[in-house]
Amino acid sequence: MASSSFTLGLLGAGNMASAMVRGWVRADPDMAGRILITDRGSGRAAALAEQYGVRHLEHNAEVASEADLVVLCVKPVDVERVLREVSELITPTKAIASVAAGVPTSTLETILDVDAPVFRFMPNVGVQVGMGTLAYSAGRFIDTAAEQQVLEAFGLLGEVVRLEERAFDAATALSGSGPAFLALIVEAFEDAGIVSGLSYADARALILTTVTGTAGLMREEDMPASALRRMVTSPGGTAAAGLAEMERQGVRGGIIDGVVAAMRRAGELG
């Protein structure tokens, strides 16, 4: 199969599938014609077909037999049922990529009838704007062509980082749930701006560009966070006063404890 013309079959059309569809079509409008999608009857797959020109099929089996790469986008609790439903249609050359949190590749391989190439991804909602973070890991029966195809598809959605599977719960907490944590922090900055007398619109504009500029600087200059913090923190200055209060309030400890709680939860989901 030509890598530039493979068909993606998405089983599930919820929040993550929608974000990925948007990301794929945004990255390459021709992808729409190569995406097949189902749901459990909510109408979300049909709505995505209407909005983005992807193809909604009624049955998971139709998607699994037509697609070159089957992407499992259902909740972890539904993975086994959905994969069993299509298992006999999976061949050793048809790749499976699962985005389900907490479900290891070994579980997916055990459910399948054949030794197919299985990949596990932990994407985040940044995929919707082509700026996702996607941790991935490969199962036992991987061939180079399948891996290239999968990386080509998911690479359109953002930065793909290969991880040992035992690091997935940590990645789930840090980058999968990360957008929720960062959104909470942005919300707090918006509130702080309003308390300080700014309009909501001004507070939002200031903090959003501050977030992207800070991330851009650390990335482009390869600058550690601690170095950037020191650079902005003049002795006796405003940042020093603000940081001292934030540390007293336990911001750092709260974030560490929150991410560790998310990681533990990820471990319970499989």
Determine the interface stretch with ligand NAP among 33-41, 89-97, 207-215, 243-251 (rule: CB under 6 A).
33-41
Paired tokens of 157 = 């959605």
Determine the interface stretch with ligand NAP among 72-80, 194-202, 215-223, 250-258 (rule: CB under 6 A).
72-80
User: Residue 133's closest CA among 105, 151, 157, 153?
Assistant: 157
Q: Which of 73, 89, 97, 146 binds ligand NAP (CB under 6 A)?
A: 73
Tell the smallest beta-carbon distance from residue 138 to ligand NAP (Å). 17
For residue 148, how far is the Cα from the chain centroid?
Answer: 19
Nearer to ligand NAP, 31 or 71 (CB): 71
Nearer to ligand NAP, 218 or 269 (CB): 269
Q: What does the alpha-carbon distance between residue 135 and residue 74 come to, in Å, rounded to a whole number?
A: 18
- Residue 87 CB partners (closer than 8 Å, separation 6+): 111, 112, 113
Q: What does the alpha-carbon distance between residue 74 and residue 42 come to, in Å, rounded to a whole number?
A: 13
| 99 in contact with ligand NAP (CB under 6 A) | yes
Q: What does the alpha-carbon distance between residue 188 and residue 199 come to, in Å, rounded to a whole number?
A: 14
> Count of residues binding ligand NAP (CB under 6 A)?
28
Q: Which of 4, 42, 199, 249 binds ligand NAP (CB under 6 A)?
A: 42
Residues 157-176 as x/- pattern, contact with ligand NAP by CB under 6 A: -------------------x
**Residue whose C-beta lies closest to ligand NAP:** 14
Tell the smallest beta-carbon distance from residue 267 to ligand NAP (Å). 13
Asked if 77 contacts 107 with a C-beta cutoff of 8 angstroms, the reply is no
- Residue 5 CB partners (closer than 8 Å, separation 6+): 34
| 9 in contact with ligand NAP (CB under 6 A) | no
Residues 110-149 as x/- pattern, contact with ligand NAP by CB under 6 A: ------------xxxx------------------------
| 105 in contact with ligand NAP (CB under 6 A) | no
Tell the smallest beta-carbon distance from residue 123 to ligand NAP (Å). 5
Write the CA distances from 33 to 28, 40, 111, 130, 165, integer angstroms: 10, 22, 30, 19, 32
- Residue 259 CB partners (closer than 8 Å, separation 6+): 173, 174, 177, 181
Binding site for ligand NAP (CB under 6 A): 11-17, 38-42, 44, 60, 73-76, 78, 82, 99-101, 122-125, 176
